Chain A
Amino acid sequence: GAVVSQHPSWVICKSGTSVKIECRSLDFQATTMFWYRQFPKQSLMLMATSNEGSKATYEQGVEKDKFLINHASLTLSTLTVTSAHPEDSSFYICSAHSGTSGFDYEQYFGPGTRLTVT
C-alpha cells in the first residue's frame, strides 16, 4: 500500500523558535496533501489543504502566517510552525491522496509528529 512518512516523529523546541515538519509520499505522487492537528482526546482538525505548485488553502481560524505550508513537489510537503508557543504543542499529522479529481478515495496518513513547545 501507499506509504507516507513524516519527519521528525517528535520534536521539542523553545518558545519563539520555528519548527519544520516534513511529509513525504514514498511510493506515489501526492497531488494533494492535508495537514491536521490533534489535541489529546480530541478528533483530527484539518488545518490546511495543499496542492502541488500552488498556495495552500487554510481552514478558518488557522493563521497562514504562523503555519507556513509548502508543497514544492509531488512527494513533499512541509509545515513550518513559526514563533512557536506552548499552545502550539500538539500532534501534527499529514495525509495525502493521489487522485487529481478526488476520486481516489483513500487518504494515506503519515505517522504523525508530536511537537512540544517549552
Chain B
Amino acid sequence: GQNIDQPTEMTATEGAIVQINCTYQTSGFNGLFWYQQHAGEAPTFLSYNVLDGLEEKGRFSSFLSRSKGYSYLLLKELQMKDSASYLCAVRDSNYQLIWGAGTKLIIKP
C-alpha cells in the first residue's frame, strides 16, 4: 500500500528553527509537495521537489532524497503566524496526490 508518515504534532519557539520530516512509500514518484493549512482554511502551496536536494524559498526550505523516500520542510525565524498544520503529499505514478495526515506545528512565544 501507499503510505506517507509525518509527526502528528511539533512545538517550537518563536524565532527558532524547526524541521518537519516526511517519509513515504508510494507506487512511483512524480514529485513531493508541502502545503500549509491553517485551521478552518484550505491548504496553500509551499514547495515542490522532484529532484534530490534542497529548494529554498525565503524562510522555508524543502529537502528531498528519493533513494531514502524522505523529505523535510525547514522553517526558519519562526513567527506566530506559522502555527498551522503542514501537509506532505507525494504524486504517484498515476499523478495522484497521496496525502500525509499533517503535522500540527505549535509556536510558543
> Which of chain A's residues have a CB closer than 8 A to the CB of B41?
111-112
A44 x B48 contact (CB < 8 A): no
Give the number of residues in B that approach A within 8 Å (Cβ atoms): 21
B87 close to chain A: CB less than 8 A: yes
Contact among B40, B50, B97 with A107 in the assembled complex (CB-CB below 8 Å): B97
Q: Which residue of B lies closest to A113 (CB)?
A: B42
B39-67 Cβ-contact flags toward A at 8 Å (1 or 0) = 01111110010100000000000000000
Nearest-CB distance from A79 to chain B (Å)?
14
B43 x A105 contact (CB < 8 A): no
> Contacts A105-B31, A105-B50 given: A46-B42 contact, CB under 8 Å?
no
Contact among A43, A91, A106, A107 with B101 in the assembled complex (CB-CB below 8 Å): A43
In A93-118, which residues have CB < 8 Å from any B CB? 93, 102, 105-112, 114
- Interface residue range, chain A: 10 to 19
Contact among B40, B91, B95, B96 with A46 in the assembled complex (CB-CB below 8 Å): B96
A42 x B101 contact (CB < 8 A): yes
A43 x B97 contact (CB < 8 A): no
In B9-63, which residues have CB < 8 Å from any A CB? 30-31, 33, 35, 40-45, 48, 50
Q: Which residue of B lies closest to A41 (CB)?
A: B104
**Which 6 A-B residue pairs are closest in the complex by CB-CB distance?**
A102-B95, A109-B42, A43-B101, A112-B42, A44-B99, A43-B99
| A–B Cβ pairs within 8 angstroms, 30 of them | A34-B97, A42-B101, A43-B87, A43-B100, A43-B101, A43-B102, A44-B87, A44-B99, A46-B96, A46-B99, A49-B96, A91-B40, A93-B42, A93-B43, A102-B95, A105-B33, A105-B50, A105-B91, A106-B33, A106-B45, A106-B48, A107-B45, A107-B97, A108-B45, A109-B35, A109-B42, A109-B45, A110-B42, A111-B41, A112-B42
Binding site for B on A (CB under 8 A): 34, 42-46, 49, 91, 93, 102, 105-112, 114
